[in-house]
Amino acid sequence: MNGDKRTEKARLICRNCSTSIPLDAPVWLCPKCEHSLEIQIQSNFPVRKIASRKPDLWRYREALPIRSNKNIISLGEGYTPMLRYAVKKRWIWIKQEHLSPSGSFKDRGAAVLINHLNSIGVKEVVVDSSGNAGAAISAYCAAAGLKCRVFVPAAASSAKLKQIKRYGAVPELINGTRDETTQAALRAARDTYSASHYRNPFFLHGTKTLAFEICEQLGWKCPDTVILPIGNGSLVLGVSLGFRELKSAGIIPHLPRLIGVQAENCAPVYNAFHELLPTKTNKIHATFAEGIAVSHPFRLNDILDSIHLHGGTMISVTETEIESALHQAWGKGFYIEPTASAGLAGTLKYIDSAAGDEIIVTAFTGHGLKYGG
């Protein structure tokens, strides 16, 4: 089936009230009940054709919810190297997501989302992240010529905010907390469009390509275990979606085990998964891994469902373990930011209980050049 026939049938579905909307409607929440939407689309994997295409994520075009393959705006996202990495006298695989165009895996979600918006004629978006998600959306808005307003707390200042401004996005400084900033962005999104990486369903259909690449780079084989950091869950939810699509299409026989990693200092998903007492759940401290310091993940239940579906578990890592994994990676020539070492820190903890021949994959999620430290 070519892209047009597939996407004509595709719908946006509300899981709460079952409202069904055409894929090209400019909505990002259910218009009836304001619940988040899901994309219902058939994904195909013509592996021989895929192998003949350019090394970017558009090689999986029969699995992407984009109506036309013409006029794709690309900065070369996806198909990052997957390298062997020695851990405790054995090898694991690490996807080099920090080598993405704006420096994090979030370019996958941003590329698919912004191409969708460009194809349906949306001209302006709002974002409430001054981190890697904001940078990725700003980069693709710059490439596509969309106006991008980024809501940030007035007190914020970071290398990532500089990157956002350099791409030409317009910062909207909000006097208040992170939550108040999010509320202001949501109000602004009522008249425009929210490109939120954890609310918008198109974002996950970009991050899912990480699962496709892991399989393809293993020779279309399913790994045994995939270990990923979790903040808002756009990475783990996308990767789970990707593996489920590969299984439905008959490309892999079963799902890999999916293990989520959080910093002990901010571990709402870990605590919920292990049903820890609320007193512990409420205790949130600052963490070195600021990119996953999310105290109330919007899609918490979806994340828990995914981990269970993949027969996985949640691991938490201490500040010392995060820092030590970071220094280990740096010492081997991998220049990543602190948050990006959480997956490796979790893997170092998990590996003693792994089977000898287990194929384990993790990811370096963000680039070290953005980290002033």
**Could you tell me which stretch among 34-42, 118-126, 253-261, 263-271 binds Zn ion (CB under 5 A)?**
34-42
Contact of residue 14 among Zn ion, ligand PLP, none (CB under 5-8 Å per partner type):
Zn ion
Q: Which is nearer to ligand PLP, 223 or 233 (CB)?
A: 233
User: Does 33 participate in binding Zn ion (rule CB under 5 A)?
Assistant: yes
Helix axes 234-248, 106-120, angle to 10 degrees: 80
Can you tell me the distance from the alpha carbon of 29 to that of 212, in angstroms, rounded to the nearest whole number? 27
Query: Structure tokens of 125?
Result: 């978006």
Give the x-and-dash track for 10-29 against Zn ion (CB under 5 A). Answer: ----x-xx-x----------
Query: Residue 39: in which H helix or E strand, if any?
Result: strand 37-40
Q: Which does 265 bind (CB under 5 to 8 A by kind): ligand PLP, Zn ion, none?
A: none
Residue 138 or 339: which CB sits closer to ligand PLP? Answer: 339
233 touches which of ligand PLP, Zn ion, none (CB within 5 to 8 A by kind)?
Answer: ligand PLP
Are 258 and 312 in contact by the 8 Å Cβ rule? The answer is yes
CB of 97 to ligand PLP, least distance (A): 8
The footprint of ligand PLP (CB under 6 A) covers 104, 106, 131-133, 229-235, 291-292, 337, 339-340, 365-366
Q: Which residues of 188-214 are buried (b: 16+ CB within 10 A; e: fewer)?
A: bbeebbbbbbbbbbbbbbbbbbbbbbb
Alpha-helical runs (H) found in 198-253: 201-207, 209-217, 234-248
Q: Smallest distance from the beta carbon of 8 to ligand PLP, in angstroms?
A: 30
Among 30, 144, 237, 348, binds Zn ion (CB under 5 A): 30
Shortest Cβ 220–ligand PLP spacing (Å): 26
Nearest residue to 221 via CA among 97, 343, 359:
359
> From residue 9, how far is each of 36, 98, 119 by CA, in Å?
20, 35, 17
Q: Segment contacting Zn ion (CB under 5 A): 6-14, 65-73, 175-183, 208-216? A: 6-14
Q: How far is the CB of 34 from Zn ion (least distance, A)?
A: 7
**Which of 313, 333, 94, 136 lies closest to 223, judged by CA?**
94
**Cα of 168 vs its chain's centroid, Å:** 23
Between 131 and 171, CB nearer to ligand PLP:
131
Contact 292/262 with Cβ under 8 angstroms? yes
Rounded least distance, CB 133 to ligand PLP, Å: 6
CB 167, min distance to ligand PLP, A: 16
